[in-house]
Structure 1
Amino acid sequence: MMSTFHFAVLGDSLAAGVGCSHPSQTLGHRLAAVVRGTGRQVALSVRAVSGARSADLAAQVPTGPVDLALIVVGANDLTSFTPPQVGARLLGQVVASLVNKGARVVVATAPDLSIVSGVPPAYRDFVRQASALYAQAQADAVRAAGGIVADIDPAMFDRFRADPSLFSADRFHPSPAGYALIAEALAPSIDAPFRTERL
């Protein structure tokens, strides 16, 4: 009998699923289904908190076993003007602590906040560049700590930019359809080691 596979989701409101009307629509539940598709029994722990920044991640790390961790963080660091080197260092420390626990750690770095309708057109280029710089600093820290940066096609953000139905009523968080699109983009990074097993 296969042992229980422990999957933890850490981070901010995107990781917590703000904008969803049912837990099954959230990233954690959607991606846990990907792992269950490999025949594993999954214990999902969603420890993410709306409004969390990289400074809040350490408190979210489970004390028990973790086989796989997904971290989604960066939007609140950007809106609070956290310096990239500071947020990236804090993220890297948490990734390293999870790796030391034996976890495979997948990180979705800061989103392109220029897609949010509330950003004035005159500031969108600046916000896009700031988002990219922050995400790059995160990616460097994650790789140095032994984690995996989710490979998300930039075209996904273009889809959000072009389709208002991918946002929830607050025009900031994704709608269930938006979460489905993000989960689809993250799934290959979650499924990668299991694909190797099947070869």
Structure 2
Amino acid sequence: MNPIWLPVVAIQGLWLRSTLRLTLAPGGGTSGTAPGPAGTPLRLAVLGDSTAAGCGVTGDDEAFAAGFAREIAARTRRPTNWQVVGQFGATARRIRFRLVPRLGDDLDIVVLLAGANDVMAGRGPALWRDDLTGILTDLAHRTHRLVIAGIPPFTRFPSIPARLARYLGERADALDAVSREVCGRNPERTTFIGAPAGTPPPDFFGADRFHPSALGYRLWAQDVAARVIPAQ
């Protein structure tokens, strides 16, 4: 971004923090089971920030984790137990040292939803690389497969002014580039999945115009699951 616009971005950032009314209370539940017709239940976990915790919805079955578990159960035809360890405002540093230790062991899939708070906090690629590497190292002993979701594109958030969104989007792209590199070191077990392409539908965002709605989480979960376990 042209440095001449940085004062404008700073003003817009202050305006955003003073006017945005985020949905603080997570409503997505912390555990559950998606039924499947046969087989040993799969065990998956969703780890990360407010999107992992389910901010923006109120029902246990409306957030990302439950939707992702339903998709995995449908694709594998196996029951799927899910758990969530998420926290509003969590950066990769907090996830690494505070949230990862709360996960169970012997998991089949762990999905990491993180990065937006690192972008907004001004944490750059070097810090992101260090913490993401640490997270993946710790999770390697807990799960068979790791999925790193790309940072949601700020330019599509209806609550963020356009110039600020572009600035945050550039920072997010830099962190996603690091994620691709880090995940590429062990492609057999670690997968980076970028944000879905295209313009989200009008009802993708919830009441705060920042977190996904029930529809948004469902579409996001469907996209990630389709790329983790493609249809046969």
Question: Normalization by structure 2: what TM-score?
Answer: 0.73
Map 1:1-199 onto structure 2 (within 5 A). 2-37=39-74, 38-58=76-96, 59-61=98-100, 62-144=103-185, 146-155=189-198, 158-159=199-200, 163=202, 165-192=203-230
If each structure's helix is expressed as a fraction of its own residues, which one has the higher value?
1
Identity of aligned residues (%): 23
Q: Is the 8 A contact 2:71 2:221 kept in 1?
A: no
TM-score by length of 1: 0.84
Which 5+ residue runs of structure 1 have no aligned equivalent? none
8 A Cα contact 1:99 1:147, kept in partner: no
- What is the one-letter code of the residue matched to 2:123? T
Deviations 1:112-150 (A, max 9, x none): 112223322333332222221121112222332551011
What is the aligned residue count?
Answer: 189
Change (3 A) 1:122 1:129: same
Structure 2 stretches lacking a partner, 5+ long: 1-37
Aligned residues of 1:34 and 1:191 also touching (Cα < 8 A): no
The one-letter amino acid paired with 2:193 is A
Of structures 1 and 2, the larger Rg is shown by: 2
- Please say if residues 31 and 190 of structure 1, whose CA atoms lie closer than 8 Å, have aligned partners that are also in contact: no
Q: Output one character per residue of 1:163-194: Cα deviation in whole Å (capped at 9) or x when no partner.
A: 2x2211111111111112211211213324xx
RMSD (CA atoms): 2.1
